[in-house]
Structure 1
Amino acid sequence: MRFGETPIDEATGAILAHSWRANGVNFSKGRVLSADDIAKLKAVGVATVVAAKLDEEDIHEDEAAANVAKVLAGGGIEVTAPFTGRCNHFAREAGLAVVDRERIDELNELDESVTVATLPPFARVEPRQMVATVKIIPYAAPRTAVARAIGVAKSANRPLVSVAPFQSMRAGLVQTRLPGTRDKVLDKAVVTTTKRLTSLGSTLNGERRVAHDAKEIAGALAELKAEGCDLFLIAGASAIVDRHDVVPSGIEVAGGKVIHFGMPVDPGNLLLTGEFDGKPVLGLPGCAKSPKYNGFDMVLERLAARLPVGRAEIVRMGSGGLLAEIPSRPQPRDDSDAEGEGPQQAPRVAALVLAAGRSTRMGGPNKLLADAKGEPLVVHAVKAALASQAVEVVVVLGHMEDQVRPAIEKAVPPKSRLRFVTNPDFAEGLSTSVKTGIGALGANIDAAIVQLGDMPGVGAPLLDRLTAAFSPVEGRAICVPTVGGKRGNPVLWARRFFPEMTKLSGDSGAKHLIGEHADLVCEVEMTGEAAITDIDTPEALAAWRERSTA
C-alpha cells in the first residue's frame, strides 16, 4: 500500500487519510475519492491530499476483517458486518466465552496489520455481549498476512472463539448440621444457591439437611437422585480439610468417587469435585455461602455450559484465580449496575419500513403492490429488514392498508420481530409515517434505520453495514449510505434524535437533521446503486425490472 501526500490528479480511487472540512467540502477520512470528489477538491484549490492507494497485493481493511472474522467464529457467535476495518463477534445467548488463547497469540504475532482481541477465556457473557473483535490496523492488509491469519484459525479442529451456552441443570443441595448450627444460616445458603442457579438458567430441585455424617450424606444423595437431580451440591457444616473428610467419605459411601480436592483459586480453595451416578457432585467451600464471586462460581458456570471440569481444568484455574483482590469483578447474580456501565453490547437497531404513501407520482396504482421480480415491491424491503441484524422490524401502513398488509403477510411467515402500525395521517406526508414508526419502537432500542418501501435493491448486507458503522461513542450517530460520494437511503438514526424526529412535518422526512448535526454524520460507502435507487414512476420500475433480470 502506498501512503502519503498524493497529487490531486492521481488521487481518484485513493482512500482519504484525514478528514477535509473547509470551503463547503465535507469529506470524512476513509472516504474513497471519486472523480466528482476530486473535482470538488480541485475547485477549492487543493493540490495534494494525504491518502492511501492499494496495490494488487493488498486487501481492503473491510474485506480483510470480514475474511478473518468469519473463520475465527465458532458456535454461539454472531459476526457483524465490517466497518473501518473492524468486525465484532457477539454472543447469541448467555454462556461462557471459549477462547483458544495460544492460537490468538500466534495470530497476533503474524503481522502488525491483523489483530484480534477477545474476552478472557471462560468469561461469562450475556446475550448480545461483545466477545471478540477483529481489527485491521491500516487501510489495507497484505494478502499474505490475511492468508496466514486464516491458516492459523484453521490449524486445529476447533474455532478460536465460541460461546458455550448455559444449559438448564436440576441441582440437589445437601447441607449438614453440627451442634449449634442455626437454621437461619442454612436458610440463607438456600437463597444464595438458588440465585446462583437461577442466573445460569438452572433450578434448585431439592434440599436435604442432615447430620454431619458420611452415611447421612449418602442417604440424602440417594433421595435427591430419585428426585431426578443431575447436579449434587454438598455444603458441610465444617469445611472440608482432607479428601478423606466427612463430605468426600459420604460421596464414596453413596457409590460415587472423588475426582479432585482443592483448587488454585482464592476464595474457593477447599472445593471438592467428584462424581455420583455419572453426574457431577461438588463439595462446597465455605465461601459458597456468600453471593460474592468465588471458585465455586467458576466451576458451576463451566458445568452449566457443559464444559469439562476435571482435574486438568481445575489446576489450570490458578492464572486469574486470585479473586479476593479483584473488588470490581462483576457479580453474576446482581442485576444492578451502580455506575451505569456494563459489558459492551451489540446495538439494538430497529428497522422502520415506511409503506403508507399514496404513490402519487406513480400515476394511480399503489406502487408498493406492483410486481417486482414475482413479488410486491414492498415485500423486498420487509424481507431485507427481517434478514438483517435488526432486532425489531416495524412496518408503517396507511394508504390501502387493507391490501398492503395481506400482501406482506402472505409473503413473509409470522415472525416475532415483525410488527405493523397504522399511520392515520399518511396523506400529510412522509414525516407522519416517520413519527408513527418512531413512536412505536420499544424503549430499549438504540437506533432505527428508516427504510423506504420502494427501494427493492436494498438488501440485508446494506442494512447490516449501516449497523456496523453505528457508534455514538466514536461520533457516528447518523449513518448515511453513499454511492460514489452521493448520499442515499436508508439512514440510521441514533435514539438521541427520536424526539426531534417526532416533531417533523410535511413530506421532507428528517434530511434537515443531517445538516444540523454534520459532526455526528458517518458516510458509509456502498457498492452498487441500490442506496440511490427508489421507484417513483412506472418508467423507474420498468428500468429496475430490466436491470435486475439482465
Structure 2
Amino acid sequence: MKKVKVEEAVGMILCHDITRIVPGESKGPAFRKGHIIRQEDVPKLLDLGKAHIYVWENQEGMLHENDAALRLAKAAAGSGLNLSEPKEGKVNLTAAADGLLKVDVNSLELINGIDQLIIATLHTNRMVKAGQQVAGCRVVPLVIAEEKIVEAERICSSIQGIISVKTLHKVRAGLVTTGSEVYYGRIKDAFGPVIKSKLEQFGSSLHKQVFVPDDVEKIAQAVRELKAEGVDLVLTTGGMSVDPDDLTPTGIKSAGAEIIAYGAPVLPGSMFMLAYLDGMPILGLPGCVMYAKTTIFDLVLPRVLCGEKLSRQDLVKLGHGGLCLNCEVCTFPHCHFGKEGK
C-alpha cells in the first residue's frame, strides 16, 4: 500500500478503516477498508482530519481482498448456489432452491489450511431452503498472494466445487407393512400416515401401502410386486427387530435384494436396514419411526431422494452425532443430530 494525499486518492481503494467519532453520541467507521474513494468523499475525509490516506497499490502476483474472495467462492461453489457480491473480502453462498447441502469436508479442510483463506459452511447433508445462506468465503488481509487462491482453485477443480445444493427427486414410494396383528385387523396401522407425511414433506408420494402377515415369502412377494409396478423406493415397517417372529429383514433378502447394512449407529433408529434390489433402494424402518419425531429415517431419506447410493460406510459415519437427545421441543436440523464427522 502507499500513502497519498486525499485530493489525489479519487478512484483508489482504501486500505484501512477510518473512524468517525461524535462525542457523547457514537463511534464507528466512516469509511471501511476496500472503499473506492469518490470525489464527494474528499471533503468528508478532510473534515475527519485525514490529509493523507493509505491506498492499495497494484502489485504483480497480489490480489485485492474482494477479487480474491470472489475467485475463492466461484471455485468452491458447485451446483445449486447463488453468490453475493464481494464486500470487505467476503462472499456469501446461498441456496438457489430447496435441497440437500453437500460439502466435501476433506477439501474444505485443505482450503482452510491455506493461511489467510476462510470458508465456513453449515454441516453437510442438511436440508436447506431457497435463499438460505449455506457458506461464507473470506480472505483475511486486504491484499493476498494470488498463488494461495490458485491453490484453492486447484483443490476445488477436481470435483467441480466443494459445496453444492442437490435437488431432491419426486419419487413414488411403496410401503410394505408387516405384522399379523395389523394384517388381520387386531390393531390399527399407525405407520402409514407417518410415512405418507414424511414423503410429502420432501415432495414425494406414497403410491401404495401393502399389508402382509409375518411370512417371509409374502413379504418378499410384496416387495417384488411393488417394484414391478414401477415404484422408485420401497419402505418396510414392522418386524425389524431381532425377535424370532420378526421376519421382515429375511423377507427383504428373499426378494433378491442386496443387503448393505442391517443395524446403524443411530439412536433412535438402530434397527434400520438398507438394501438395493436391482438399483432400487429398500429401507427397512424400525418401530421408532412411528412415534419419534426425528430418527434415522430423517437422516437417510433426503440422501436417497437426491439420488445417492448409500454404502455401509455412509451409515457407519452417522455414529458421530447419531445420538438424539429427545429434546422436549425438537429443533432438528438446528442441533447436533446427524452431524457426522468425516
State yes or no: 1:93 paired with 2:94: no
Aligned to 1:128: 131
Following the alignment from structure 2 to structure 1, what is the Cα–Cα distance between the partners of residues 91 and 175? 44
Following the alignment from structure 1 to structure 2, what is the Cα–Cα distance between the partners of residues 291 and 306? 26
Q: Aligned in 2, Cα 1:183/1:97: closer, same or farther, shift over 3 Å?
A: farther
How much does 1:182 deviate? Answer: 9.7
Partner amino acid for 1:292? K
- Identical-pair percentage: 31
Aligned to 2:297: 296
How much does 1:166 deviate? Answer: 0.3
Q: Aligned in 2, Cα 1:308/1:54: closer, same or farther, shift over 3 Å?
A: farther
Aligned to 1:137: 140
Q: Aligned in 2, Cα 1:263/1:44: closer, same or farther, shift over 3 Å?
A: closer
SS in 1 for 2:325: helix
Partner amino acid for 2:18? H
Following the alignment from structure 1 to structure 2, what is the Cα–Cα distance between the partners of residues 134 and 69? 6
Higher relative contact order (CA 8 A, sep 6+): 2
Aligned to 2:213: 211
Alignment RMSD (CA, Å) = 3.1
How much does 1:256 deviate? Answer: 2.4
Aligned to 2:317: 316
Answer whether contact 1:271 1:284 (CA < 8 A) is retained: yes
Equivalent residue in structure 2 for 1:200, among 196, 199, 202: 202
Decide which structure has greater helix share: 1
How much does 1:307 deviate? Answer: 1.1
Partner amino acid for 1:222? R
Matches within 5 A, 1:318-397: 318-324=319-325, 330-331=331-332
Answer whether contact 2:6 2:45 (CA < 8 A) is retained: no
Partner amino acid for 2:301? L
Matches within 5 A, 1:3-22: 8=5, 12=9, 13-15=12-14, 16-20=16-20
Aligned to 1:261: 262
Answer whether contact 2:182 2:189 (CA < 8 A) is retained: no
> Gaps (5+ residues) in structure 2?
24-28, 335-342
- Normalising by structure 2, report the TM-score: 0.83
Equivalent residue in structure 1 for 2:68, among 50, 64, 69: 64
How much does 1:54 deviate? Answer: 4.1
Q: Aligned in 2, Cα 1:242/1:315: closer, same or farther, shift over 3 Å?
A: farther
Q: Aligned in 2, Cα 1:264/1:242: closer, same or farther, shift over 3 Å?
A: farther
Q: Aligned in 2, Cα 1:104/1:324: closer, same or farther, shift over 3 Å?
A: same
Partner amino acid for 2:298? D
Q: Aligned in 2, Cα 1:44/1:270: closer, same or farther, shift over 3 Å?
A: closer
Following the alignment from structure 2 to structure 1, what is the Cα–Cα distance between the partners of residues 107 and 278? 37
How much does 1:250 deviate? Answer: 0.7
How much does 1:321 deviate? Answer: 1.8
Partner amino acid for 1:18? I
1:404-431 C-alpha deviation (Å, 9 max, x unpaired): xxxxxxxxxxxxxxxxxxxxxxxxxxxx
Following the alignment from structure 2 to structure 1, what is the Cα–Cα distance between the partners of residues 113 and 67? 20
Matches within 5 A, 1:355-504: none
Following the alignment from structure 2 to structure 1, what is the Cα–Cα distance between the partners of residues 218 and 264? 26
Partner amino acid for 2:294? Y
How much does 1:310 deviate? Answer: 1.8
1:311-334 C-alpha deviation (Å, 9 max, x unpaired): 1211122222223366776457xx
- Normalising by structure 1, report the TM-score: 0.53
SS in 2 for 1:63: helix
Answer whether contact 2:80 2:164 (CA < 8 A) is retained: yes
Aligned to 2:80: 76
Partner amino acid for 1:276? L
Equivalent residue in structure 2 for 1:106, among 106, 110, 114: 110
Q: Aligned in 2, Cα 1:180/1:125: closer, same or farther, shift over 3 Å?
A: closer
Following the alignment from structure 1 to structure 2, what is the Cα–Cα distance between the partners of residues 285 and 40? 68
1:5-41 C-alpha deviation (Å, 9 max, x unpaired): x675598235141343669xx9432333346534543
- Bigger mean CA deviation after superposition, 319-328 or 256-265: 319-328
Answer whether contact 2:268 2:324 (CA < 8 A) is retained: yes
Equivalent residue in structure 1 for 2:223, among 202, 221, 224: 221
1:193-225 C-alpha deviation (Å, 9 max, x unpaired): 111101111101100122122122123223323
Aligned to 1:415: none
Following the alignment from structure 2 to structure 1, what is the Cα–Cα distance between the partners of residues 331 and 168? 18
> Gaps (5+ residues) in structure 1?
338-550
- Bigger mean CA deviation after superposition, 39-48 or 279-288: 39-48
Q: Aligned in 2, Cα 1:182/1:199: closer, same or farther, shift over 3 Å?
A: farther
Q: Aligned in 2, Cα 1:326/1:80: closer, same or farther, shift over 3 Å?
A: farther
SS in 1 for 2:259: strand
Q: Aligned in 2, Cα 1:55/1:274: closer, same or farther, shift over 3 Å?
A: same
How much does 1:247 deviate? Answer: 0.9
How much does 1:286 deviate? Answer: 1.5
Aligned to 2:173: 171
SS in 2 for 1:322: coil
Aligned to 2:36: 32
Partner amino acid for 1:253? S
Q: Aligned in 2, Cα 1:202/1:10: closer, same or farther, shift over 3 Å?
A: same
Following the alignment from structure 2 to structure 1, what is the Cα–Cα distance between the partners of residues 283 and 243? 14
Following the alignment from structure 1 to structure 2, what is the Cα–Cα distance between the partners of residues 128 and 161? 15
Following the alignment from structure 2 to structure 1, what is the Cα–Cα distance between the partners of residues 183 and 230? 28
How much does 1:109 deviate? Answer: 1.0
Following the alignment from structure 2 to structure 1, what is the Cα–Cα distance between the partners of residues 135 and 184? 47
Following the alignment from structure 2 to structure 1, what is the Cα–Cα distance between the partners of residues 244 and 186? 28
Partner amino acid for 1:128? G
SS in 2 for 1:324: coil
Answer whether contact 1:243 1:261 (CA < 8 A) is retained: no
Q: Aligned in 2, Cα 1:185/1:314: closer, same or farther, shift over 3 Å?
A: farther
Answer whether contact 2:240 2:284 (CA < 8 A) is retained: no
Answer whether contact 2:68 2:89 (CA < 8 A) is retained: yes
Answer whether contact 2:75 2:152 (CA < 8 A) is retained: no
SS in 2 for 1:316: helix
How much does 1:107 deviate? Answer: 0.5
Answer whether contact 2:214 2:246 (CA < 8 A) is retained: no
Partner amino acid for 2:164? S
SS in 2 for 1:264: coil
Following the alignment from structure 2 to structure 1, what is the Cα–Cα distance between the partners of residues 221 and 285? 18
